[in-house]
Amino acid sequence: MTSAASESACALCGGPATEAIDPPRRTLARGVDPGDPSYSVTVILPDIGLCAEHSRDVRGGERLVGWCDDQCCRTYGALGEPSACGLPYEKLGPTKRS
Ligand SMILES: [Zn+2]
Ligand SMILES: [Zn+2]
């Protein structure tokens, strides 16, 4: 392992990333202020590094990239797959709940 730059690794397979796609902005609810349960913040996530193959899959909608917002992780991975902290990667993008 000579490459230590994690941002240059494909989010899905860990291989060398050849492309970076813009992540969606995501509003995350954070219970920072206990007096305001609706407190939320829009975070801008780093670019998603992908290898050529997965970049094609993601753009084509065949694969979905998820995000783990756990403080220990804050990484991308395959949607629904468990991340390093044990929580599954969550869906990116605006979450509209009806
Ligand atoms: Zn890949
Ligand atoms: Zn995690």
What is the CA(33)–ligand 1 centre distance, in A? 38
What is the CA(56)–ligand 1 centre distance, in A? 10
What is the CA(70)–ligand 1 centre distance, in A? 22
**Dist. CA 85–CA 98, nearest whole Å:** 29
Give, for 55, the enclosing helix (H) or strand (E).
Answer: helix 52-59
What is the CA(75)–ligand 2 centre distance, in A? 7
Listed by start position, the domains of the chain span: 7-91
- DSSP secondary structure of 30-43: ----TT-TT-EEEE
pLDDT value at residue 32: 63
Could you say which ligand is closest to the alpha carbon of residue 75?
A: 2
pLDDT band at 94 (very low <50, low <70, confident <90, very high): low
pLDDT value at residue 34: 60
**Dist. CA 74–CA 58, nearest whole Å:** 19
Residue 65 reports pLDDT greater than 50: yes
